[in-house]
Amino acid sequence: MERREFIKGAVATAVALPLWGGEERRKISFLHITDTHLDMGEPESVEALKLMVRSINFKYPDLDFVLFGGDNFNNNGRGASDALLFKEIISGLSMPAYSVRGNKEASPTGDPQIDGEEFIELFRTDDMLTVNRDWAVIHKGYLILGLDSPIDHHNNGRFSQETLAFAKKMLDFGKPTIILDHHPYLNFWGSRDPENIKKYVLNNTDQVQRELFTYPNLLLTLSGHIHVDDTESRIGHVWTITTRAFKNALAPDRYPMRLVTIEGRKISQKLVHT
């Protein structure tokens, strides 16, 4: 679908249908995978990603899509070599895959690697609307927003005014919406260290909560970054899930992925492994 057709179709659907109208029984299933940290200097990380693709294709062939939540690769290879390797490996998935940046992609080391604009160009798909560093896709009546949260050359993150404007314009369509980004919205682990909170929690989370989380059609957010799980947190009516890092050195919880199913307003999830 062309991007112009995407917008026209979304507007037409939003005008023609009331919120949730005709979509209560629609069902989507997908995986949220974050912090894979592919590193060409660590062959095990490359093999783990290849195993992930084989495992998903074998165990979950009917998934609607896979969402990659940032720190997908460490951005320390020559030029775009690790970005291209990550893209090559996930292109083996038998279903669509969509990606956002993490702080690793935003903090290249060594010779020049890909920046935010190059990232969105490299991982753009034919069904995707992209505006600056953010994107949107529609699946079975659900709107998935990929929002860019990293601050270049820093570990912490925030939504820019352009990102917030894009998200609000998309949410205004009234479609049931999922937001994918890298930085979580809450200090769910209870840190009392301001520097720790600044590093891991979206820095303008209060503004984001005021401006986005009041939309009744925002169902779910998916984040990563801190490498631990949180499935207990809510902001108002919105379930804010954080998934532990795929690159997890502790067996048997190695290589975790979150399987999410949404049917109407009902959301279920569980952690699965390769």
Mean per-residue pLDDT over the chain, rounded: 90
At residue 149, the pLDDT reads 98
Helix axes 116-123, 81-90, angle to 10 degrees: 30
Q: Is 145 helix (H, G, I), strand (E, B) or coil?
A: strand
Does residue 192 form part of some domain? Answer: yes
3-class secondary structure, 265: coil
Kindly indicate the confidence band of residue 100, based on its pLDDT and cuts at 50, 70 and 90. Answer: very high
18: pLDDT strictly greater than 50: no
- Is 22 domain-assigned? no
> DSSP string spanning 41-106?
T-HHHHHHHHHHHHHHHHH-TT-SEEEE-S--B-S-SSTTHHHHHHHHHHTTSSS-EEE---HHHH
Q: What is the mean pLDDT of residues 18-23?
A: 39
Specify the pLDDT at position 169: 98
In this model, does residue 44 exceed pLDDT 90? Answer: yes
pLDDT at residue number 223: 98
Band of pLDDT at residue 197, cut at 50, 70 and 90: very high
Range of the domain at 259: 3-13+31-273
- Token pair of 225, please? 């970054």
Q: Is residue 78 part of a domain?
A: yes
Instruction: Determine, yes or no, domain membership for 36.
Output: yes
CA distance 153 to 159: 15
pLDDT band at 98 (very low <50, low <70, confident <90, very high): very high
Could you give the CA distance from residue 202 to residue 192 in angstroms, rounded to a whole number?
16
Whether 57 and 93 have beta carbons less than 8 Å apart is answered as: yes
Helix axes 43-59, 81-90, angle to 10 degrees: 20
- In this prediction, residue 25 carries a pLDDT of 47
CATH code where residue 94 lies: 3.60.21.10
Question: In this structure, is residue 37 part of a structural domain?
Answer: yes
- Supply angle C-alpha 78, 96, 260, rounded to 5: 110
Residue 195 lies inside a defined structural domain of this protein: yes
Cβ neighbours of residue 8 closer than 8 Å, sequence gap 6 or more: none
Using DSSP's 3-state secondary structure scheme, residue 189 falls into: coil
Residue 170: count other Cβ atoms within 10 Å of its Cβ. Answer: 24
Contacts by residues 21-24 (CB-CB < 8 Å, ≥ 24 positions apart):
22/141, 23/140, 23/141, 23/142, 23/176, 23/264, 24/264, 24/265
Q: Is residue 24 part of a domain?
A: no
Reported pTM? 0.90
- Identify residue 153 by its one-letter amino acid code: H
**For residue 21, is it within any domain?**
no
What confidence tier does 21 reach under pLDDT thresholds 50, 70, 90?
very low
Structural domain count, the chain: 1
C-alpha distance from residue 246 to each of 35, 154, 199 (Å): 6, 21, 20
